[in-house]
Structure 1
Amino acid sequence: MYTNDSLSRRQWLEQLKLPALAVAGAALPAIATHAAPSHNTSDSLPGARIFNVRDFGAKGDGKTLNTKAIQAAIDACNKENGGTVLIPAGDFICGTVELKSNVTLHLSAQGRLLGSTRREDYVAGKGVPPGNGNVVFIFAVNAVNITIEGRGTIDGNGQTFYNGKGDNTGPGQHGVGGNFDRPHLIVFYECTNFLVRDVFLTRSAYHCFRILHCKQVQLQGIRIYNRVNKNNDGFHFNDSQYVHITNCDIQCQDDACALFGSNQFVTVTNCSFSTRWSIFRFGSGEAQNIVVSNCLIYETYGCPVKISSGKARVENLSFSNIIMRNVTGPIGIAFTGKSNAGDAPDTSSFVRNISFNGIRATVVEKPVDHPDIAFGTKMFDGEINSCITLNGVGNAFLENISFTDVHITYAGGGTKEQALKRDVPQVAAEYFGVWATAPFGPPAYGIYARNVRNLTLNNVRFDCEKPDARPAVIFDNVQDASIMGLSAQGSVDSEVIRIINSKDVLIAASRVLTNAGVFLQVEGAASEGIVVNGGDTRKALKPLVLDKGAGKDAVAMG
């Protein structure tokens, strides 16, 4: 229970100053002669006090269950219009606790909130919706002005809840038979103006940090290491606005920064990410006005940027100055505008205005298990020999997609059989789902684009570490496109660029880097308005081949 012995903010800061003053040669007895501030001084009034959890009976011995004591400290802090709840040095075992408005949870450098290993010590967060489970370690609902800060740790002890089952929310699973009865580390629901900074979040039994229907979110300098259970996401957002993520380091097992639903006005900058699955994962809803810049992505084998949408309104996404090292994917955008009633396009849905600028990437042949993830992860056939995939399905088109100053080095090794593939499945699945049918992998090694309007490739270079028999670029039913300054390796058994039933495509200043059978192959009677202007194609045996019904007037060679 709370006592008057709790320290005021000024008292706490004065105590912290004493060692530094002693080092500086200050006269400690003189300081001691000054009376300690009483609780009547201005900074100890409600809203400015320090609530040490030890004063409420908590013990940081790594044995005692401290749920009631920590909750009592939070409740007292909230009742007095806020302040700081202090987690001092020690291991404080705890079950479910609720953060409340105007409370700052400060974890000292050696302070650790350690999740109980007993399921009965956790409950569903009161008011947290049940989707994806709502059992939780720390939660807040309808709260304002919350802060979690400090160099300490929030540790979910999540390996104790591993039973080999995930939540089965992956492609086509729909959660059937999934494991939802395990605690998320942190869930904030319908909270406004909160800040989380500097803390270490680790070993969640489920998602690490779920941010649902929140506004004015600041996430700064957070370190996440979350690889002890299935569905170990990093940040998971649903329907949140005005979110700003800076200087964070995320290593997790599942989606590192999932943005599902209608997330808007989001910035991510100066962060590093690694995961088995995806980094930036977008689902259905209204994902709009999102900027990702100055980020490092490494050892990520489920596509760093993955947009898989059915009925959605996705627009104004920018990805710039990004390094990707050892990834698969590396970018996958899939969209279907079909309505439930049939094949008619749903004009209320769209995926448009997405730019990729200043991208450097190395793409490996296939996923590799992370040595620090104890359980193996399934590899899908379509993850082998992956490429950039832009996949509009049916009557749906991706619109206004651009790649500028992009250099990607692929592992290579694609086969002639892959290159001959023309019948690409009409599914808006995750990128590896599109390429799951034999022969494995996509027919292009660089970029495959289907059903795209206003597509731009400007100063793009595709290299391979070993020979690849597939084209570098395939456009299928692409309209209003330009390829400016493409540099790409070729194969003597294939073409560098393949265009299928596409129109109004300008190709200028291309360079063929290695010997190739054909520079440009145009297919299909619907192809028209294709203009080739300049470039260095000397290493291609043939500059142009027309095939599968393409007319002689479909291409103008400059």
Structure 2
Amino acid sequence: MEDNHSLSRREWLGKVTVPAIAAGATLLAANANASPVAEEKEDHLQGAKIYNVRDFGAKGDGKTLNTKSIQAAIDQCYADKGGTVLIPAGDFLSGTLELKSNVTLHIAASGKLLGSPKREDYTAGKGVPSGNGNIVFLFAVNAHHLSIEGKGTIDGNGLAFYNGKGDNTGPGQNGVGGNFDRPHLAIFFQCSNLRMDDVFCTASAYHCFRILSCKHVHIDGVRIYNRVNRNNDGFHFNNSEYVHIINCDVQCQDDACALFGSNKFVTISNCSFSTRWSVFRFGGGESQNITVSNCLIYDTYGCPIKISAGRASIENLSFSNIIMRNVTGPIGIGFSGPSTGGNSNNASITKPFIRNISFNNIRASVIEKPIDHPDIHFGVTVREGEKNSCITLNAMGEYYLEDISFNDVHVKYAGGGTAEQPAKVIPKIAAEYFGVWDPLPGGPPAYGMYARNVKGLTLNNVRFEYDQPDKRPAIIFDHVQDASVNGLTAMGSPGNELLRFVNSQDILLSATKVLTTAATFLHVAGELSQNIIVNGGDLKKVKQQATFDLGASKESTMFS
């Protein structure tokens, strides 16, 4: 350069802007690494986009059928490696929808996903095993990292499918003539990392949620109000693992939280439940390593905690810090061993068992019989065995319940039982708790607890009371072995015994307190009764310590 046009290096840098330098550096870097074919621009929002269903043609007028539009949004979200499908403000009518991996279905607070009232708008869930109802509103199969969230509503429009009939799958019905042609609200099969948060789910035509063979399920803050049809379950789990339910509220007509089959590693806490039938219901399979804690159960009939099984491997269940208000049959465990059909004669199958179940810090008020819920528009027949119910532990034949414990349990019963009830012969059946007592007018023979075929039974700081006089024993042990009863407090009857032990062995009673007058503290029956020890307690309100019959000897029992 000529001297009059030349610039020093410092002067040249001062006249060039920083952005220009940066752009030049970027351009140089890009040119240095450029390939013959230009690279596709990177999408920094891949997997994080929002897919508003309105952008796919959906209308929130509550009249337009939006199935195709909403499904298109889900499919596009899935194709783009995930994101959020938004149901905005409005009522979006739809038929069957398939949810997919990496998709979050978000329902805005003023948004509603509304099920169609027409049968022809629903299909079966593709890939969902048969026997789970043949049609469904929402479903997912083999999906992972799937979520449903938001403060909005999923409404199944289930009243449109009410015809007065249930599915007839109750005791002895076997589904004959049942109504199965109605959609479940949602079915998930073989899904993993499934989440549900905050959403309000209501008015399913059948079950609300069926969660089948899923792993790593997290449900938080979900509210279910499901009382428009028969068989309106809340949560229904089959063969699922690593399930965690917290902060939920369930008001339904049928099982509120059924756990059938082989469910393992399940925690349920800080929830409230109300239903006509049962809350925590267990069937066969391998139900193991399950805890239920800090829950409220109210206005629930047909047994809040119900375990009814034949061939099963059920163990390590814990129920703690539970309040039950206005319930019947508060706890029922029935165990028959193998059924008479199917593969029950297969010697390779492990002998079934129910063992290691604990009930800790339970408070319950038990009413005389079920009453209709005012917000369920159809009544329910009350079974005879549901009246004057008690805690029932009932195993059959060679099978025993093992290691069952009750610690810090206080139950107040309605009372009103008669002297004739304990005199009835107890049927040797292992049905649902009310089925055992159906042949007995007025309910079970004890007002507090009836236990048959139990090994390793512990009652510690248990209190049984009633509101009106009850002429039944507080507790009956029938073929119970190895039991420890410490700190029992119970109300007695002037015309009957407080406790009755039938063919029971190795029983230790200590520090018993009798609250009201009883004719006899302990009645012992059966020639197999032996090694019954009564150690201390406040027995001033009993007229005599013990009576014996049916071959029981006085040497079987010792007071100290």
TM-score by shorter chain over 0.5: yes
Equivalent residue for 2:160?
160
Work out which of the residue numbers 339, 351, 355 in structure 1 matches 2:358. Answer: 355
Deviation sequence 1:139-190 (CA, Å, 0-9, x none): 0000000000000000000000001111111001111111111000010001
Equivalent residue for 2:556?
554
Equivalent residue for 2:471?
469
Residue pairs, 1:107-118, within 5 angstroms: 107-118=107-118
Deviation at 1:338, TM superposition (A): 4.3
Q: Which whole-Å CA distance do the structure 2 matches of 1:347 and 1:121 have between them?
A: 45
Q: Which whole-Å CA distance do the structure 1 matches of 2:295 and 2:85 have between them?
A: 33
Deviation sequence 1:105-150 (CA, Å, 0-9, x none): 0000000000001000000000111213131000000000000000
Deviation sequence 1:490-532 (CA, Å, 0-9, x none): 0011111100000000000000000110011111110001000
- The one-letter code of the counterpart of 1:364 is I
Work out which of the residue numbers 484, 487, 493 in structure 2 matches 1:485. Answer: 487
Alignment check: 8 A CA contact 2:413 2:467 kept: yes
Equivalent residue for 1:367?
370
Deviation at 1:420, TM superposition (A): 1.7
Q: Which whole-Å CA distance do the structure 1 matches of 2:148 and 2:280 have between them?
A: 24
Q: Secondary structure of 2:145's match? A: coil
Q: Which whole-Å CA distance do the structure 2 matches of 1:472 and 1:549 have between them?
A: 23
Deviation sequence 1:40-72 (CA, Å, 0-9, x none): 78642x201000000000000111000000000
Q: Which whole-Å CA distance do the structure 2 matches of 1:97 and 1:339 have between them?
A: 39
Equivalent residue for 2:507?
505
Alignment check: 8 A CA contact 1:490 1:496 kept: yes
- For residues 249 and 339 of structure 1, do their structure 2 counterparts lie closer, same or farther at Cα, with a shift above 3 Å needed? closer
Alignment check: 8 A CA contact 1:302 1:329 kept: yes
- The one-letter code of the counterpart of 1:356 is F
Deviation at 1:419, TM superposition (A): 2.2
- For residues 515 and 40 of structure 1, do their structure 2 counterparts lie closer, same or farther at Cα, with a shift above 3 Å needed? farther
Aligned residues: 518
Q: Which whole-Å CA distance do the structure 2 matches of 1:89 and 1:542 have between them?
A: 73
- The one-letter code of the counterpart of 1:349 is P
Equivalent residue for 2:22?
none
- The one-letter code of the counterpart of 1:509 is A
Equivalent residue for 1:379?
382
Equivalent residue for 1:123?
123
Equivalent residue for 2:35?
none
Q: Secondary structure of 1:55's match? A: helix
Q: Secondary structure of 2:420's match? A: helix
User: Which protein shows a greater Rg?
Assistant: 2
Q: Which whole-Å CA distance do the structure 1 matches of 2:333 and 2:321 have between them?
A: 19
Q: Secondary structure of 1:182's match? A: coil
Deviation sequence 1:207-256 (CA, Å, 0-9, x none): 00000010000000000000000000000000000000000000000000
Q: Which whole-Å CA distance do the structure 1 matches of 2:374 and 2:545 have between them?
A: 47
Q: Which whole-Å CA distance do the structure 2 matches of 1:137 and 1:426 have between them?
A: 43
Alignment check: 8 A CA contact 1:419 1:494 kept: no
Work out which of the residue numbers 392, 410, 413 in structure 2 matches 1:410. Answer: 413
Q: Which whole-Å CA distance do the structure 2 matches of 1:201 and 1:148 have between them?
A: 11
Q: Which whole-Å CA distance do the structure 2 matches of 1:40 and 1:267 have between them?
A: 46
The answer on 1:432 being equivalent to 2:434 is yes
- The one-letter code of the counterpart of 1:442 is P
Q: Which whole-Å CA distance do the structure 2 matches of 1:169 and 1:439 have between them?
A: 25
Residue pairs, 1:272-421, within 5 angstroms: 272-338=272-338, 340=340, 348-421=351-424
Q: Secondary structure of 1:145's match? A: strand
The answer on 1:94 being equivalent to 2:94 is yes
Give the root-mean-square deviation of aligned CA atoms. 1.5
The answer on 1:496 being equivalent to 2:483 is no
Alignment check: 8 A CA contact 2:234 2:254 kept: yes
Deviation at 1:339, TM superposition (A): 5.6
Equivalent residue for 2:36?
none
Q: Which whole-Å CA distance do the structure 2 matches of 1:506 and 1:446 have between them?
A: 18
Residue pairs, 1:234-273, within 5 angstroms: 234-273=234-273
Q: Which whole-Å CA distance do the structure 1 matches of 2:472 and 2:238 have between them?
A: 39
Alignment check: 8 A CA contact 2:238 2:261 kept: yes
Q: Which whole-Å CA distance do the structure 2 matches of 1:201 and 1:289 have between them?
A: 28
Alignment check: 8 A CA contact 1:344 1:395 kept: no
Q: Which whole-Å CA distance do the structure 1 matches of 2:486 and 2:252 have between them?
A: 37
Structure 1 moving runs of 4+ over 6 Å: 341-346
Deviation at 1:430, TM superposition (A): 0.3
Q: Which whole-Å CA distance do the structure 2 matches of 1:501 and 1:293 have between them?
A: 35
Alignment check: 8 A CA contact 2:122 2:136 kept: yes
Q: Secondary structure of 1:395's match? A: coil
Deviation sequence 1:387-408 (CA, Å, 0-9, x none): 0000011111000000000000
Q: Secondary structure of 1:146's match? A: strand
- The one-letter code of the counterpart of 1:397 is Y
How high is the TM-score relative to the length of structure 2?
0.91
Equivalent residue for 2:104?
104
Deviation at 1:428, TM superposition (A): 1.0
- The one-letter code of the counterpart of 1:368 is I
Q: Which whole-Å CA distance do the structure 2 matches of 1:114 and 1:344 have between them?
A: 48
Q: Which whole-Å CA distance do the structure 1 matches of 2:250 and 2:202 have between them?
A: 10
- The one-letter code of the counterpart of 2:498 is V
Q: Secondary structure of 2:144's match? A: coil
Deviation at 1:548, TM superposition (A): 1.8
Equivalent residue for 1:229?
229
Equivalent residue for 1:60?
60
Q: Which whole-Å CA distance do the structure 1 matches of 2:464 and 2:319 have between them?
A: 19
Question: Gaps spanning 5+ residues in structure 2: where?
Answer: 1-39
- For residues 344 and 47 of structure 1, do their structure 2 counterparts lie closer, same or farther at Cα, with a shift above 3 Å needed? closer
Alignment check: 8 A CA contact 1:43 1:49 kept: no
- The one-letter code of the counterpart of 1:133 is G
Q: Secondary structure of 1:73's match? A: helix
Q: Secondary structure of 1:277's match? A: coil
Equivalent residue for 1:455?
457
Equivalent residue for 1:537?
539
